[in-house]
Amino acid sequence: MTEPVGTFCLVLHSHLPWLAHHGRWPVGEEWLYQSWAHAYLPVVDVLERLAAEGRRDLLTLGVTPVLAAQLDDPHCLRGMHDWLGGWLLRAHGAAPRLPGLAAREHRAATRALATFERRWRHGGSPVLRGLADSGAVELLGGPATHPFAPLLDDLVRAFALDAGLTDHTRRLGRRPAGIWAPECGYAPGMESGYAAAGVERFLVDGPALHGDTALLRPVGGSGVLVAGRDLDVTYRVWSPRAGYPGHPDYRDFHTFDHASGLKPARVTGRHVPPHEKRPYDPDRAAAAVQRDATDFAGVVRERLTTVRARLGRPGLTVAAFDTELFGHWWHEGPAWLEAVLRALPDAGVQVTTLAGAVDAGLVGAPVELPASSWGLGKDWHVWDGEPVADLVSRGAAVQQDLLTLRRTAGAARDPLRDAMAEQALLALSSDWAFMVSHDSAADYARARAHGHADRVTTLARLLAAGDRQAARAAVAGWEPGPFGHVDARRIGAPGGGVRARSASRAA
C-alpha cells in the first residue's frame, strides 16, 4: 500500500443553547427537535454504520455540555418522541395534495421514529459513549453553556470550563483531552487556563494562524496544541457565500409547503422565488452527492499534495463545521458525509481524529496567536459590538455577581448559590449575542439573555440581604436547568486562564 499523501481531520461541532422549557415555536424546543431529527440521528447513523464495517478514527465530534444535557433530559426525550410522531402525522396529512413528497417523508419519519425508540430512548450519552468506545470518533468537550470566553473574567472562564469538563466526564465516562473553544474565540493567554484545566488541544479559525494550518502547533510555551480550520478546504463545502448545499439539485431549506411544514422543492436557482422552484428530485440529489463527494476528495488530495511539497513531509488539513449543517440545513449532508469518508481513503488520504494527528506526530513549531474568532471578520465584534452593547454590559454585571458569590461562599454546598451560578452560565451563552448581531430571532435572544441575568440579579440581592426564604421561593418558580452538578464553590478553584477582556478585537 502506498503512503498516504497526507492526513485529513473532520471536526463537527454540535451545539444548541438551552431551549428546554423556553418556548416551542418559532424559536425554542422546535429548533432542538428539528436538529435532532434531521442532523443528529442521521449523522450518528452514518458513523455507526461505518464503525460496524471496522472503520476507526472517522472524525472528531464535539457535543457541547448544554446540548448533551438536552439530549439526556427526560422532558426533551419525551418532546422529541412527540415531535417525531407529529412529523409522521404531517406526512399523512400531505398525502392527498403531495403524494410523492408525503411518501418520502412518511418513510423518513418512520425510520427516525424507529431509530429513536431503539437507540436513543435512554438519552444521547449512551449513543455517544458507544461511538467513542468503538474508536469511531474522538469526543471534544467545552465550557458548560458555550460562552464567548475572551469576554470573561479569568475566574469565570475557568469556572465555566470546569463545569463543562465535569459534565462531559459524568455523562461520557472520560475527561476530554480536547475542546471546541466556543465560536473559536481566543485571546492571548487563554492557553494557560487550558493547560491548568488539563486541556491538551483546541481549535481556532485558519486566519489566526495566517492560513498555515498544515500542522498542529503548541501555543507559546504552554504545551497546549492548537489546530487551525483550513478555510480553503472547509469553504468548499460551506462558506458565507457559497458551497455544495446551494447547488440547484439539492433540497431547498427555505421553501415550505405551509399546510404541512414539509419541504417540497429543490434549490433550482439562487435567485428563483419560492413559488417558481422545481419539485425536489431524490435521484438528482443523489447524483449531486456523489459528484460533490468526489470533488471534495480531489480538493483535499490536492491541498495535501501542496502541503507535502512545502513541508517536505506529509501534513494535515482540518475541515470543521457545525454538525447541524449535515441534515438540518443541508438535507443531503449525511449522505455526502458518508460518501466523503468512503472516498478519501480511496484517494490516498489518511482520515483520522485530532488525537490521531497528534499520535502521528503532525505537530509543528510553537506559535503565538492573535485575538480571533470564527465570526464575521474573524474578530470579536459579533459578541462585543455596538448592537449587543446591552448584552455585554449585563454579562459583565453577571460576572461581578458571580465573583461576589465566590467571596461570600461558605464551606458547605448551598443550592441557592448553585442555582444562581447555573443561571449566570446560561446568561453568558454566546448564542444570544450571535442571534442579535445576525438579527435572527433577536427579540427571543435578548429576552433569554436578560431573563437569566435578571434571575442572577434577584438572587444576588436576596442572598446579600439574608432573605433565604424569598430566595427559595424565587428558585422554586424557575424551570429545571441543565446542570444539577454546578457547584458555586468551584468559582476560583485552582486552574484558570489570564484576564483577556481588554483585547477587544482581533489584530
Q: What is the DSSP letter of 73?
A: -
Active site residue 138: no
Do residues 55 and 136 make contact, with C-beta atoms less than 8 angstroms apart?
A: yes
The tens place of each residue's pLDDT in the chain, 507 residues long, gives: 478 999 999 999 999 999 999 999 889 999 999 999 999 999 999 999 999 999 999 999 999 999 999 999 999 999 999 999 999 999 999 999 999 999 999 999 999 999 999 999 999 999 999 999 999 999 999 999 999 999 999 999 999 999 999 999 999 999 999 999 999 999 999 999 999 999 999 999 999 999 999 999 999 999 999 999 999 999 999 987 889 999 999 999 999 999 999 999 999 998 999 999 999 999 999 999 999 999 999 999 999 999 999 999 999 999 999 999 999 999 999 999 999 999 999 999 999 999 999 999 999 999 999 999 999 999 999 999 999 999 999 999 999 999 998 888 778 999 999 999 999 999 999 999 999 999 999 999 999 999 999 999 999 999 999 999 999 999 999 999 999 999 999 998 764 333 333 333 333
How is domain 6-141+235-249+284-359 classified at the CATH fold level?
7-stranded beta/alpha barrel (3.20.110)
* Nine-digit cell string for 478: 424557575
Model confidence pTM above 0.85: yes
Angle between helices 124-133 and 65-72 (to 10 degrees): 120
Amino acid identity for residue 226 in this structure: V
How far apart CA 78 and CA 123 sit, in angstroms, is: 10
* Residue whose C-alpha cell reads 449513543 in the numeric block: 127
Amino acid identity for residue 347 in this structure: A
CA angle, corner 29, sides to 27 and 32, nearest 5?
Answer: 100
Q: How far is CA 378 from the centre of its chain?
A: 18
Amino acid identity for residue 77 in this structure: L
How far apart CA 246 and CA 333 sit, in angstroms, is: 12
Among residues 200, 281, 322, 390, which one is catalytic? 322
Among residues 183, 324, 332, 487, which one is catalytic? 183
Please name the residue ranges forming H helices in 26-64: 29-35, 41-52
CATH number of 150-175+381-507: 1.20.1430.10
Active site residue 276: no
Q: pLDDT, tens digit, for every residue of 142-198?
A: 999 999 999 999 999 999 999 999 999 999 999 999 999 999 999 999 999 999 999
- Bridge partners of 141? 179
Do residues 138 and 61 make contact, with C-beta atoms less than 8 angstroms apart?
A: yes
Cα within 13 Å of Cα(449), Cβ side: 27
The residue extents of the domains of the chain are 6-141+235-249+284-359, 150-175+381-507
